[in-house]
Amino acid sequence: MTAKSDFAARVIAWQRTHGRHDLPWQNTRDAYRIWLSEVMLQQTQVATVLPYYDRFVAAFPTVDALAAAALARVLERWSGLGYYRRAHHLHAAARMVVQQHGGRFPSDATTLAMLPGVGRSTAAAIAAFASGERGAILDGNVRRVLARHRGVSGWPGIPQIEAQLWRVAEALLPGPPDGASNAIAAYTQGMMDIGATVCTRTRPRCDVCPVSDGCVARRDARIDELPSARPRKALPKRAIIMLLLERRGEILLEQRPPLGIWGGLWSFPELSLGEDIDAYLSVRFNATADAIERLPPRRHVFTHFALTMHPVRVRVGRWPDGVAMPGTAWFDADSAIASAAATPIRKLLETWMQSILQAH
């Protein structure tokens, strides 16, 4: 056997014996359900995805159902999973499939890569599982496996390093007879499984790795340094006030713009740090506050900046006509928790709910 065919054959044999086989999106050629799982698994672990996947499929069993649903309902089912742009992309892609492909979900990588939120690696993975199409993948876990196995130095986010890893991934693809459609699916799943369960970021299980014999990082004692870490850069910091406006057991939420952080989700009205709360209430809502309570600050780290939230609980006094302004709505405790809100906002809502219960 050549080194290439030996690598692929070992991965395939290992996956068929030791890999994962009972995930809800496996053992199907349904490109729609495979696509849902692959998008959900972007930057999210399997254990986290499992309950969301089941609920999402129950709510939107077909691409037509997803395309016909309101974006707000899609965001509700996605709420808590994070990286909410993925939900926007799912909805847009479903509508594209219905409009441009008659509701028949594509299963070839070229067409899949044209859908919003589907990159080269995701498209190849879907195509491998749905139609047995031969193509390389390069998700985060696979990058780690290949960087260690081939001794590729440099942060994989650098275009030159990424291009080098793509060349490695393509060179190691199984060819005939291991390149048959069912073998391609096993190889693709095997690479994912090895990265997720064996060649882990810390404490990799080299003793059970099917390709450890040829691993450069293991041979040269470089496991801890490969792949190279992202160059450290000072993370910009932002701070805001979040108003928990409370009225007769209800809380006011406002819907964020469709683009940007937490796009389309429900959140709290925001003020700049140091902005006068009474003046804000008067100008924006023609309202007044009966009581203001400052809660402990909370920190949330995004990819590109760190956000410190200073929540302020405000019991509303005067409120015009008892209604909300456009883009806002009053929620009782149950409906607030059930709303499409980001995890940090949901945690603040839970804090608010606890305070309501304690008051009674």
Ramachandran sector of residue 117 (left: φ over 0; alpha: ψ -120 to 50; beta: rest): left
Task: Tell me if 231 sits within 8 A of 155, measured CB to CB.
Answer: yes
Record the tokens describing residue 240, joined without a space. Answer: 């805001």
Record the tokens describing residue 197, joined without a space. Answer: 């369960």
Beta bridge partners of 253: 329
Distance CA 217, CA 211 (A): 12
Backbone angles phi, psi at 169, to 5 degrees: -60, -40
Q: Is the dihedral of CA 346, 302, 169, 227 positive or negative?
A: negative
Per the annotation, the verdict on 38 as an active-site residue is yes
Task: Tell me if 265 sits within 8 A of 79, measured CB to CB.
Answer: yes
CA 262 vs CA 224, 228, 256, 344: distances in Å:
35, 30, 7, 10
Catalytic residues: 38
